[in-house]
Amino acid sequence: MISSDAPPVRQTGPGRPSLFSSDEVERYARHLVLAEIGGPGQQKLKKASVLVVGAGGLGAPALLYLAAAGVGRLVIVDDDVVSLSNLQRQVIHTTAAIDRPKTESAEAFVAALNPHVTVEGVNQRITAENAMALIDAVDVVIDGSDNFSTRYLVSDACALAGKPLVTAALGRFDATVTTLRPHETAADGTPNPTYRCLFPEPPPAGTVPSCAEAGILGALAGVAGSLVALEAIRAIVGFGEGLVGRLLMIDTRSMRFETLSYGWDPDNPLTGENRTITDLSAHRR
C-alpha cells in the first residue's frame, strides 16, 4: 500500500489499535467521527480489497467514492478504451484519456485522488477462465457491467466463491441496485437469495436496447454508482440495513425510490434444493 510521507499517528482509545498517518487522520476525519465507522471501521476499509467489474457508467462513480473512502486495494477489470461519448457520465475519465485503456485512466484517477489506495488494472474482459481467480483475491465485488452474460457470470462466481456482490443496472432514466450474499443465511435460517432467484433467466437477445441505442441520463449513473459504493462500504464496515433481499428501483422521471423484496428460490440452479450449477463451465464459450 502506498503510504504518506507524514509520520504515523497511533489512534488511541477503545477499539483504535491501528496506525494511521497524520494525513490519513485528516483525510478521513468525517468518517472517524461517525460512531458507525470510526477508527475500527476506517481500518477495515484500509485493509479491504474490492473488485470493480467495469470502469464505465457505474464503475466510474463507484471507484471515485471507494478511493475517497480509503478502501485499501481496488482491482479494476475492463477491456475497453475511453471514448468521447463516455465522458457524459463516466466521471473518472477525462478528454485527455480518450483512446487510453479505461483501466489505465482509472488507475491514474485513483492515484491522483488518494495515494493511500493501491489500484490494480486488469485490461481484459472478465470470463469463466479468470473470474474465480479475480474474485478469490478480494473481499467484495461490484458488478458495473452492461450486459446480462457478464452479470450472470459474476453473480454465479461470487456465489461459488462465497463473496458479497453489489450489482446494479442502468436504463434510460431508471436504475436498479441490490446486494447479494447467497453464501449466508437470513434471520429465519433460509439462504439469502441469488441473482437467479431475482432474475431466473436473462431476457431474450435483442429485447433490451444498449446504452448507445437507447441513451442514458448521465447523472443517473452517478446516483446509482454512488449507491453501489455505499453498499460496498457497508459490506466492509457493517452498519445499518443493506439491500440483501431487496431490489432498489430508481425512477428519475418521477423521482421515486422504491424497494422490491425478494427471497430465496428453492428451484434456483445455483443454491437451490437440486442445484445444477457447481462451477462456471456453463459460461465457457
Q: Report the 10 Å Cβ neighbour count for 121.
A: 20
211 given a catalytic annotation: yes
* SS3 call for 14: coil
Residue with cell string 461519448? 85
Please report how the helices 218-237 and 38-47 are oriented relative to each other, as an axis angle in degrees rounded to 10: 110
Among residues 87, 211, 223, 280, the one annotated as catalytic is: 211
CA 165 to chain centroid, in Å, comes to: 7
Which cell is 84 given? 468521447
Residue 168 pairs with which residues in a beta bridge?
Answer: 177
Please name which of 77, 15, 59, 25 lies closest in space to residue 237, comparing C-alpha atoms: 15
Query: Which residues are the active-site residues?
Result: 211
